[in-house]
Amino acid sequence: MKKLTILSLMLLASTISFSQSFSFGPKAGINISNYTGGNIDSKALVGYHIGGMLNYGFGNVFSIQPEVLFSTQGAKVNNGGEKNDFKISYVTVPVMLKLKASGGFYFEAGPQIGFRTSSDIPDQTINNFAKGLDLSLGAGIGFQSKMGLGIGARYIAGLSKVGNFSGSNIDPDFKNSVIQASVFWAIPIIK
């Protein structure tokens, strides 16, 4: 038992000395979303995202950044000669691996899972337009100052179909596609 305690303390000490930073803070910005694939005729729709993030740094170059964001997405869909805004709201959880360069610039990539919270679909002939779960991959670039203020741009490519629905002439085999531009403040707790 004594050896296990000593080993645990050594592991904890090495983890604390290796991890050099921890920060958290708010994040907000705009979304430019659309649908890709299938036979859907759509144009981009402007929305927003807002939420928070944690950043856990390993050394001076790598960090992991999980986020929780409320995100409005969708598209302007041309369905039967009529253009309508198809809006879907998600709570998204991206987990980005960040690679930091000197001068504050960074590159990020990672998976994202989205949980549908609501949908506003004007076409009453479509039942269950959006699934409750949306899987995506994201990649982006940005800049973060030493005090934690930053800006970033990210592209999120859907991996799963938006929905499995019937009752329309739209083929449901399409995915979310979102460009995000954000401002954030990563408040440093441990430098």
Predicted pLDDT of residue 27: 98
Mean per-residue pLDDT for 164-189?
A: 86
Picking from 12-26, 131-145, 177-191, which range would have the lowest pLDDT averaged per residue? Answer: 12-26
Nearest residue to 47 via CA among 96, 88, 93, 95: 88
Predicted pLDDT of residue 143: 98
CATH number of the structural domain spanning residue 163: 2.40.160.20
Q: Identify whether 2 is part of a domain.
A: no
What domain count does the chain have? Answer: 1
Q: Identify whether 162 is part of a domain.
A: yes
Q: Identify whether 97 is part of a domain.
A: yes
Q: Identify whether 12 is part of a domain.
A: no
Confidence band (pLDDT; 50, 70, 90) for 11? low
Q: Identify whether 1 is part of a domain.
A: no
Say whether pLDDT at 71 is over 60: yes
From residue 12, alpha-carbon distances to 16, 63, 167 in Å are: 6, 18, 57
Higher pLDDT pick, 82 / 124: 82
- The pLDDT tens digits of the residues spanning 112-156 come to 999 999 988 886 667 677 889 999 999 999 999 999 999 999 999
Predicted pLDDT of residue 39: 82
pTM: 0.84
| Burial class of residue 18, CB neighbours in 10 A (0-12, 13-18, 19+) | exposed
Confidence band (pLDDT; 50, 70, 90) for 167? low
Q: Identify whether 10 is part of a domain.
A: no
Q: Identify whether 93 is part of a domain.
A: yes
Q: Identify whether 3 is part of a domain.
A: no
Say whether pLDDT at 7 is over 70: no
- The pLDDT tens digits of the residues spanning 45-63 come to 999 999 999 999 988 899 9
Range of the domain at 38: 21-190
From residue 51, alpha-carbon distances to 30, 165, 168 in Å are: 12, 30, 35
Highest mean pLDDT among 14-23, 123-132, 160-169, 170-179: 170-179
Tokens of 151: 């800006």
Radius of gyration of the chain (CA): 20
